[in-house]
Amino acid sequence: MEEMVFEIKRTDENGNMKTQSYNVPKDKVSTVLEALLYIKENLDHSLSFRYSCRMEICGSCAMEINGKPHMACSTTTDSLKGQKVTVAPLKHFKVIRDLAVDIDGFLEKYRAVKPYVIRDDDGKYDSEILQTPEQFHEYLDYSLCIKCGICMAACPIEGSDPNYLGPAPLAAAWRYIADNRDQGKKYRLEIVSGEEGTSRCHFAGECTEACPKGVDPSFAIQKLRSSMVGLEFQRLFRRR
């Protein structure tokens, strides 16, 4: 029976790291997540990893597969070159155990950009707020984010500056600014224009490349920057 070798970077509760290899029958699994489940059920019950929906919706099973961040559930074993697969926890996240990482810091950054519709009328509007299909498509792509953290792991700046807001939160900021129902642009631009905001991005573009849902954070960051320039011009002329 043809087998694949899964080399998994494991970390115990004391932070000790080791790489462990498992042989998985090729015909028993079709995705990396299935291989991990096979290992857990048949070879090593102690292997820890996070997963839920198995269909690239929940964003739980993001991990580094063959050196690049991917969703384990949607990475088919056929798409991987060779018989050896290296699996490691997502970069730039604190490892809790084995392949499970702590996403609290990431979610804090996400919260910081106020990812919800802000209204000046505090939600007490009289009539329905209409939205044309064109207005809906302005932000649709950015609303597809599943908060998997893959873009954060792919971003080179995120690794050297953990305080940088990062691609996903910045894309979320743009998602709400681009929404015609939202009136919180001034608050969000204030947040993303800080030292740890969009100015930290150097357009490596890896976030966009890595996103499993086709979200384009680097484009969102560019839109945020041009919005900030526009806002600064407005302020400049208002002073005069």
Residues of the shown chain interacting with other proteins in the complex, contacts defined by CB under 8 A? 66-68, 91-95, 154, 156, 159-162, 202-206, 209-210, 216, 218-219, 222, 225-226
* Three-point CA angle 159, 171, 110, nearest 5°: 65
CB of 33 to other proteins, least distance (A): 21
Distance in Å, CB of 43 to other proteins, minimum: 26
Shortest separation between residue 216's beta carbon and other proteins, angstroms: 8
In the complex, least distance from residue 94 CB atom to other proteins, rounded to whole angstroms:
6
Q: How far out from the chain centre does Cα 39 lie?
A: 26
DSSP H/E element including 102: strand 100-102
Query: Going by C-beta distance under 8 Å and a sequence separation of 6 or more, which residues neighbour residue 155?
Result: 92, 164, 166, 167, 204, 206, 207
Closest to other proteins by CB, 155 or 172: 155
C-beta closer to other proteins: residue 164 or 176: 164
Euclidean distance between CA atoms 185 and 206, whole angstroms: 26
Closer to other proteins by CB, 93 or 176: give it.
93
| CB nearer to other proteins: pick between 91 and 175 | 91
HSE-up of residue 208 (Cα within 13 Å, Cβ side): 12
CA dist list (Å): 141 to 16, 17, 34, 61, 230: 40, 38, 29, 21, 23
Q: Considering the complex, what minimum distance in angstroms separates the CB of residue 223 from other proteins?
A: 8
- Residues 198-209 as b or e (16 or more Cβ within 10 Å = b): bebbeeebbbbe
116 vs 203 by CB, closer to other proteins:
203
